Amino acid sequence: MYLNIKMLEDFRTLKHGDEFNFDFDKCPEILVAGDNGCGKSTLVNIIRDYQCDNSKDDPNAMYQTKLGYCDIKGFKNKIEISTDFTKFYFISAEFDDPTSLNNSVSAEALLENGGFQTKRMSTGQRSLTMLGKWVEENKEYWDDKTLLVFDEVDKGFDLSHQVGMSNMYRNLHKKFNVSILAVTHTLFPILVREEIFYFEFRKMVSSELYCCMKTGYDIIAEKLGKNERKED
């Protein structure tokens, strides 16, 4: 599966000739990282607008329950998109308010966290619950030609919830054979992947290189076995 985007004109921070090529056969869960304001969410809007524009004649083609984006009107002449995905689902923490949920949602098979009660929840717990609800509402429509797009859904997560979000990406792919495109600033999901899409470079780079360039430190994630986990 693939998604290729080429800019035919300048738009906001994106420039004529910019290309974004995502190979999901090589990496089914692609995390997109970069500085604030570099155009990551604009790219998500482009994908969404393309999906909406190409589904007008198909009553079953609106494969999303939480849009939360402003339409980019008349954009199709400014971009060139090629893809073999047939379904797109979008979710954004910026607009999809997890505090509006009143009931607990069980999604332990995906989140590895069990169900949560929204009362006394932290922001991270509410966001994970929102995600669980979103999954439950849409999963029956997903197949191997589905792309799930997450726009900074893990914003403000503490470390334990960063781990839960990272697990969720992997479990969604394993369970439903979908592909994942996730915009994030969160460190843990980046660290535990071999490569991420470095937005300013317009290409995949090693997570180690990305973290080194952004922090000036060599940061490597290595999972410990059960016998190695101990408190000093």
Domain ranges across the chain: 2-228
2-228, CATH topology level: Rossmann fold (3.40.50)
Q: What is the structure's pLDDT at 136?
A: 87
Per-residue pLDDT at 173: 95
Give me the pLDDT at residue 108, please.
37
Mutual angle of helices 123-138 and 159-176, in 10-degree steps? 10
pLDDT of residue 94: 56
C-alpha to C-alpha distance for 46 and 39, rounded to whole angstroms: 10
From first to last of the 232 residues of the chain, give the pLDDT tens digit.
999 999 999 888 899 999 999 999 999 999 999 998 899 988 888 888 776 655 544 434 434 433 333 344 556 677 889 999 998 898 876 544 433 333 223 333 344 433 334 445 566 677 777 788 888 888 999 999 999 999 888 887 888 888 888 998 999 999 999 999 999 989 999 999 999 999 999 999 999 999 999 989 888 777 756 555 555 4
pLDDT at 75: 61
Q: Tell me the whole-structure pTM to 2 decimals.
A: 0.79
Alpha helices in 34-107 (DSSP H): 40-53
Written as six digits, the tokens of 21 are: 């090529």
13 three-state secondary structure: coil
Q: Please give the pLDDT value at position 184.
A: 93
Sheet holding 146-151, edge to edge: 87-92, 146-151, 179-183, 29-33, 195-198, 203-206
Query: What is the C-alpha end-to-end distance of the chain, expressed in Å?
Result: 46
Q: What is the pLDDT of residue 158?
A: 86
Q: Say what the pLDDT of residue 54 is.
A: 53
Distance of CA 189 to the CA centre of its chain: 11
In Å, the largest CA–CA distance within the chain is 62
